[in-house]
Amino acid sequence: MFGCCNRDEDKFPNPQEIEFNRTNRNLPFGGGIHFCLGAFLARFQGQVAINNIIQRLPNLQLVNHTPDWRESITLRGLKSLPLTFDKNDFKTY
């Protein structure tokens, strides 16, 4: 099941936490001859996007600390992630 990837309590100290620097062998982009050609681009785009959000909105915070997860046995994800930030921090480039 995709929803349980990288959440093994025996392998990770905090499996429920999002840790972008977590290093492990996983298969989100396939492997071997089936490795996704766009994997490096997808990872780079994600890193750039998250860094930009953090830099532009330094006071970004969760509205509540209990995320609303989608109910699916095949793909784990959020229904929504309400955030708040100081509108004076928001800068357009």
**53-90 pLDDT tens trace:** 888 888 999 998 888 888 877 777 888 989 999 888 77
The answer to whether position 22 is within a domain reads no
Q: Is residue 74 part of a domain?
A: yes
Return the pLDDT at 48. 95
Q: Contact 57/89 with Cβ under 8 angstroms?
A: yes
Cα separation, 40 vs 47, whole angstroms:
11
Average pLDDT of the chain to the nearest whole number: 80
* The predicted structure's pLDDT at residue 8: 76
Contacts with 87 (C-beta within 8 Å, 6 or more apart), sequence order: none
Q: Is residue 3 part of a domain?
A: yes
Per the structure, how many domains does the chain have? 1
Distance (Å, whole) CA 6 – CA 35 = 18
Residue 52 lies in a domain: no
Q: What local confidence, expressed as pLDDT, does residue 5 receive? A: 66
63 within domain boundaries = yes
pLDDT band of residue 10 (cuts 50, 70, 90) is confident
Q: Domain range spanning residue 6?
A: 1-10+58-93
* Number of helices (H), then strands (E), in the chain: 1, 4
Residue 41 domain-assigned? no
Contacts of 91 (CB under 8 A, 6+ apart): 56
Please report which confidence band the pLDDT of residue 49 belongs to, taking 50, 70 and 90 as the band edges: very high
pTM, 2 dp: 0.55
